[in-house]
Amino acid sequence: MKAAVCHKYGPPETVALEEVQKPTPRDDEVLIKIYATSLNLSDWEMLTGTPFYTRTTWGLFKSRFKILGSDVAGRVEAVGRKVTRFEPGDEVFGDIMGSFGGFAEYACAREGVLTLKPAKMTFEDVSVLPQAGVIALRGILDKGQLQAGQKVLINGAGGGSGTFAVQLAKSFGAEVTAVDNTEKQDFMRSNGADHVVDYTKEDFTKNGRRYDLILDLVAHRSLFDNRRALAPSGTYLLVGGSAKRLYQALVLGPIISMFGSKKMSLLIVNPKQNDNVRLLELVESGSIVPIIDRRYPLSGVPDALRHVGEGHALGKVVVTM
Ligand SMILES: NC(=O)c1ccc[n+]([C@@H]2O[C@H](COP(=O)([O-])OP(=O)(O)OC[C@H]3O[C@@H](n4cnc5c(N)ncnc54)[C@H](OP(=O)(O)O)[C@@H]3O)[C@@H](O)[C@H]2O)c1
């Protein structure tokens, strides 16, 4: 089969289309013929090996995974002998982070992370949901517990997870401030944000405004700066960002939360806690709408990675097979 393969950490040019062996499903896995795989910033992080903490998970000098891509959608071609929920021919989607392999014609996945695709949705549309959707779902509703009328700020709001987070917060009646780079300001407004901030020109922690919830998708400011921007009893959730900010939230977050009414912590999502059905319900109710910026063929994976990694994507980017 054909796959976009990278043998070492590096720039998008490190990735090349190669002929590789088709994977064989283990007993608890299904083999999927992939039709669409959406990109996440985590693909870029695995490609480049930055922030450095990602290497503690994926490999210090080279990644354990040669084929990136985790949000897949396709048709089941074969099933392992212990698989009970799917059979060949089923149309499925899910986040296979942990094994990766989505930028290829076929990939294997544990049945637990997969969900049946509704007939009325396209493979492309369901492929954009799992990782970005679940970050928004947990950040805004489950852990964020955002209420109607509250003020939320989403940092990195023009990317994949941010686009869903803005939509979700608006649909639950919040007042939304969206922060991202200059070229994403109009897009964030059109996606429903009440206020937009260009992070290249303004520091949202220094303008005197206060928020009930800050969802920080790309943390670069200190925990103390973010604390200042929280309303009394406000919550700060760090999803991703620099290693320094991540460790700060890990160590200092619980201490700050213990003393005082403001809560600060990391938000970690685990693909094994499959929330795809809840995401489909949110699509059905109109609370979230997949927005696909660009589509690339399998041979275009390097360009797709560059488009996302350099921060140009307005919503999601999809590779179609
Ligand atoms: N915690 C977990 O379990 C978990 C799991 C998976 C992924 N993640 C994290 O989730 C995050 C979001 O991923 P995604 O796929 O939605 O990313 P994405 O689509 O690339 O969006 C990120 C956006 O943030 C912008 N940005 C970069 N630096 C910024 C800054 N200083 N201030 C404001 N905006 C900034 C980017 O644009 P520019 O770069 O051009 O400025 C881009 O528009 C990533 O950090 C990823 O590591 C966390």
Per DSSP, 93 falls in state E
Whichever domain contains 219, its CATH number is 3.40.50.720
Tell me the CA–centroid distance for residue 35 and ligand 1, in Å. 25
280 part of a folded domain: no
284 part of a folded domain: no
As a whole-number percent, the residues of the chain with pLDDT over 90 amount to: 94
In angstroms, the CA 229 to CA 164 distance is 22
Contact 80, 88 (CB under 8 A): no
For the CA of 44, the closest atom of ligand 1 is 20
283 part of a folded domain: no
Q: Tell me how far apart the terminal alpha carbons of the chain are, to the nearest angstrom.
A: 11
What pLDDT is stored for residue 245 in this prediction? 95
Find the mean pLDDT for residues 274-293. Answer: 97
| Ligand 1 contact via 159 beta carbon (within 6 Å) | yes
Q: How confident is the model at residue 123 (pLDDT cuts 50, 70, 90)?
A: very high
> Are residue 165 and residue 181 in the same domain, yes or no?
yes
> Are residue 90 and residue 150 in the same domain, yes or no?
no
> Are residue 256 and residue 306 in the same domain, yes or no?
no
What pLDDT is stored for residue 270 in this prediction? 87
Q: How confident is the model at residue 182 (pLDDT cuts 50, 70, 90)?
A: very high
103 part of a folded domain: yes
> Are residue 243 and residue 121 in the same domain, yes or no?
no
**pLDDT > 90? residue 144:** yes
**pLDDT > 90? residue 199:** yes
Pick the closest to residue 91 from 115, 112, 70 (CA basis): 115
> Are residue 65 and residue 154 in the same domain, yes or no?
no
**pLDDT > 90? residue 98:** no
Pick the closest to residue 308 from 95, 17, 46 (CA basis): 46
As a whole-number percent, the residues of the chain with pLDDT over 70 amount to: 100
Tell me the CA–centroid distance for residue 178 and ligand 1, in Å. 13
Work out how many domains the chain is built from and give that number. 2
> Are residue 138 and residue 248 in the same domain, yes or no?
yes
Q: Ligand 1: which of 53, 180, 200, 221 to mutate, most ligand atoms within 8 Å of CB?
A: 180
Contact 210, 230 (CB under 8 A): yes
* Averaged confidence pLDDT in the chain: 96
3-state DSSP assignment of residue 42: helix
Q: What is the pLDDT of residues 219-276, one digit of tens each?
A: 999 999 999 999 999 999 999 999 999 999 999 999 999 998 999 999 999 888 899 9
**pLDDT > 90? residue 128:** yes
**pLDDT > 90? residue 52:** no
> Are residue 167 and residue 217 in the same domain, yes or no?
yes
Residue 103: domain span: 2-128+290-320
**pLDDT > 90? residue 89:** yes
Whichever domain contains 26, its CATH number is 3.90.180.10
> Are residue 141 and residue 184 in the same domain, yes or no?
yes
92 part of a folded domain: yes
**pLDDT > 90? residue 314:** yes
Residue 206: partners with Cβ closer than 8 Å, 6 or more residues away: 225
pTM strictly above 0.85: yes
> Are residue 212 and residue 262 in the same domain, yes or no?
yes
Tell me the CA–centroid distance for residue 41 and ligand 1, in Å. 6
274 part of a folded domain: no
Per DSSP, 213 falls in state E
71 part of a folded domain: yes
Residue 105: partners with Cβ closer than 8 Å, 6 or more residues away: 1, 2, 3, 22, 33, 34, 298, 321
Tell me the CA–centroid distance for residue 312 and ligand 1, in Å. 12
Residue 105 Cα distances to 79, 108, 192, 299, angstroms: 16, 11, 36, 11
**pLDDT > 90? residue 187:** yes
Range list of H helices, the chain? 41-48, 53-58, 123-127, 130-136, 160-171, 185-190, 223-228, 243-258, 276-284, 301-309
> Are residue 225 and residue 299 in the same domain, yes or no?
no
> Are residue 180 and residue 165 in the same domain, yes or no?
yes
Q: What is the pLDDT of residues 146-181, one digit of tens each?
A: 999 999 999 999 999 999 999 999 999 999 999 999
Q: What is the pLDDT of residues 19-48, one digit of tens each?
A: 999 999 999 999 999 999 999 999 999 999
What pLDDT is stored for residue 69 in this prediction? 98
| Ligand 1 contact via 46 beta carbon (within 6 Å) | no
277 part of a folded domain: no
Residue 8: partners with Cβ closer than 8 Å, 6 or more residues away: 14, 62, 63
> Are residue 136 and residue 112 in the same domain, yes or no?
no
